[in-house]
A and B are shown apart, each in its own frame.
Chain A
Amino acid sequence: MTMMNETLLNRHETICRAVAALDDRDAVIGGIGNTNFDLWASGPRPANFYMLGSMGLAFPIALGVALAQPERKVVALEGDGSLLMQLGCLSTIAICAPANLTMIVFDNAMYQITGGQKTATASGADLIGIARSSGLTESHWAEGAADFDRLYAAALARSGPSLIGVPTDAAKAVGTTDRDPAKIRITFSEAMTA
Chain B
Amino acid sequence: MLDSGGKGSGAMAWHETLIAKLKLCDVQLVTYVPDTVLRPLIEAVEADPFFEVVVCAREEEAIGISTGSILAGRNSVVLMQTSGLATLANVIASLPVPYQVPVLMVISERGVLGEFNRVQLQVAKTMRPILDASGVDHVTLTRAEEMDFVTERTFDQALQTRTPTALILSPLLTGGKSAKK
Contact B64 A67 (CB under 8 A): no
Partner-contacting stretch, out of A33-41, A56-64, A107-115, A136-144: A56-64
* C-alpha spacing A120/B52, complex, angstroms: 35
Give the shortest distance, in Å, between B44 (CB) and chain A (any CB).
Answer: 20
| Nearest-CB residue, chain B, relative to A88 | B57
- Contact flags (1/0) for B43-74 with A, using CB distance below 8 Å? 00000000010111110111111111111111
CB-based A-B contact count at 8 angstroms: 122
Q: How far is the CA of A65 from the CA of B72 in the complex (A)?
A: 5
Interface positions of A from 23 to 56, Cβ below 8 Å from B: 27, 29, 49, 51-56
Does B98 reach chain A (CB closer than 8 Å)? yes
Contacts A60-B61, A88-B57, A181-B99 known; A68 to B94 CB distance under 8 Å?
no
A89 touches B94 (CB 8 A): no
CA of A184 to CA of B94, assembled, Å:
13
Do the beta carbons of B94 and A61 come within 8 Å of each other?
no
Across the interface, which residues of B come within 8 angstroms of A154, CB to CB?
A: none
- Kindly state the separation between the CA atoms of A91 and B29 in the bound complex, as whole angstroms: 18
Q: Which of A57, A64, A181, A188 has the most CB of B within 10 A?
A: A64
Picked from A68, A89, A91, A95, the residue with its CB within 8 Å of the CB of B72 is: A68
Q: Does A7 contact B (CB under 8 A)?
A: no
Specify the chain B residue showing the minimal Cβ separation from A194.
B73
Residues of A within 8 A of B62 (CB): 60
B82 CB to closest chain A CB, in angstroms?
A: 20
How far does the alpha carbon of A57 sit from the alpha carbon of B63 in the complex, in Å?
9
Q: Sorted from nearest, which 3 A-B pairs have the closest CB atoms?
A: A64-B68, A53-B94, A88-B57
